[in-house]
Structure 1
C-alpha cells in the first residue's frame, strides 16, 4: 500500500503582522491511496480517523473524523480530499519567524500524521474495524497559500495492522512503529 499527498491548499495563516501570533489555519489536502494488492480490498472508516498537521514543534491543526469513509477495491488507486479547519492556534515568535524565513526560501516543511481505521475485505487477513492504519508524511510546500505547490513529499506507512512492525518502505526505515524521520 502506498500513500501520497498530491495537493495541499492552505488558508488562514497570515504572518505579515509581527503582533499576530494567533492563527486559524485551514488545510485542503488531496491524498492518494494506492492498493496494489490483487487479492484484497480495504474498507476505510471516517469515525475515529485523525489528521495532524505540524510545522517544527508547533501543531498547526489537529482534526478528528475528517477522512472520508470508502471502500477501496483490489489493485486500485483512489484520490480523496480532506479538509481540516482549526482556530485559535497560538504560535511563538520563533515559529512565526521560522515560517517566514522558510517561506522566503519557498521550502516550508510540514509534517502530516494520518490515522484511519481500516478493515480488509477478506477473512484471510486478521484486521478488525478497530485496526488503525498510521501514515506519516513529510511535505515541503513553496508557500502557505491556497495555490501552494508541493516542492517535495514522502509518505511512510508507519504500521500495517496485518503485518510485522519491522519493514522498510520508500527507503525510510520504520521499526517498532517509530519513524526514523529522514531529511531530504
Structure 2
C-alpha cells in the first residue's frame, strides 16, 4: 500500500498512522481560509492550471495524493454490482450439479448399452440361433377352370380354394418356437390376390421338423381378358408362377424362458404346372424377410 502524504499542519484522520516526520509538500503559506480551508472549483481550476507549468512545486495544501497498488484494484465489486455478483456465485454450484447429473445419466446409458451388447454376444456364442427354414410340399387348387374361362364372352369371376402344405424345420439345438394365433397367408398371381387365410398355431421344439397344411380361399375374383390369356399361356407351358406372403407372430423359447412376440414375414415364390386339384410343384423359393434375433435365411429348390 502506498504512503499517504499529508499537508503541513494537518492532523491525520482517526485510525491512520501518521508519519513520524511529516514533511510538507511545499513551504508556501496556506491560502485564505486557514489551514483547513477547502479550495473552491475556481481555485481547483487555477491550481490544476498552475500544476501544468514547469517549475510548479506540487499540489496545493489540503490536497492528498493516494497511491493504490494495481493488484488491489477491483478486488471487491462495487456496491451496484454486489447483487449480480452474489447471483453469479450462487449459480455456479447449481450448474455444476446439473452438469454432474447429465454426465452420470449419459454414463449409465452407455454402461447399459455396453451390457446389452455383451449379453447379446454371449447369447449368440452360447446358443448360435438360426432362423427356421420353410419349404412348400404340395399345392391343391380348386375352383379355377381355365378352359371354361377362355370360352366365356364376359369377364368371369372365380372363387379359388388353395390347400397348401408347408414344411418347417427348426435346426436350433436349444431354442424352441411358438407359432401364435393371428397369422395371415395370401397367394397372388401377377399382383391379383387369389385367396387368403391363416396358418395353425403350434409349438416347434428344438431340432425338429413340422409339416402343416392350411386352406386358403377367395371369392368373386374378377379376371380381365389379358389375365385369362396370360394364365392359359402359362398353363400350356406347364409353369404358372404364384406368390405366397406369410406373416406369423411367434415367441422364442430359450431355456424355458419365452421372449416377447416377434412378427415373422416369409415370402415364397411357387411355380405349379397347372391350376388344378392335383397340381405339381415345379419350383419354390422361400425366404424370411423379417425376423428379429435371427439372421435371415433362404431356402430354394428348383426342378
- TM bucket, shorter chain: 0.7 to 0.9
Q: 2-side partners of 1:37 and 1:159: how far apart?
A: 18
Classify the secondary structure of the residue corresponding to 2:254.
coil
Aligned-residue Cα RMSD (Å) equals 2.2
1:49-72 deviation digits (Å, cap 9, x = unpaired): 001100112111122xx2101000
Contact 1:117 / 1:133 at 8 angstroms: preserved in 2? yes
Whichever structure has more strand as a proportion of its residues is: 1
Classify the secondary structure of the residue corresponding to 2:146.
coil
Contact 2:159 / 2:221 at 8 angstroms: preserved in 1? yes
Paired residue for 1:51? 185
Map 1:26-175 onto structure 2 (within 5 A).
26-45=161-180, 47-63=181-197, 66-122=198-254, 127-129=259-261, 131-163=262-294, 167=296, 169-170=298-299
TM-score under structure 2 normalisation? 0.51
1:90-130 deviation digits (Å, cap 9, x = unpaired): 1222111111110010100000001111001127998423x
How many equivalent residue pairs?
167
Long gaps (5+) in structure 2:
1-131
TM-score under structure 1 normalisation? 0.83
Larger radius of gyration: 2
Q: 2-side partners of 1:127 and 1:97: how far apart?
A: 49
Long gaps (5+) in structure 1:
172-183
Whichever structure has more helix as a proportion of its residues is: 2
- Select the structure with the greater relative contact order (CA < 8 A; seq sep ≥ 6): 1
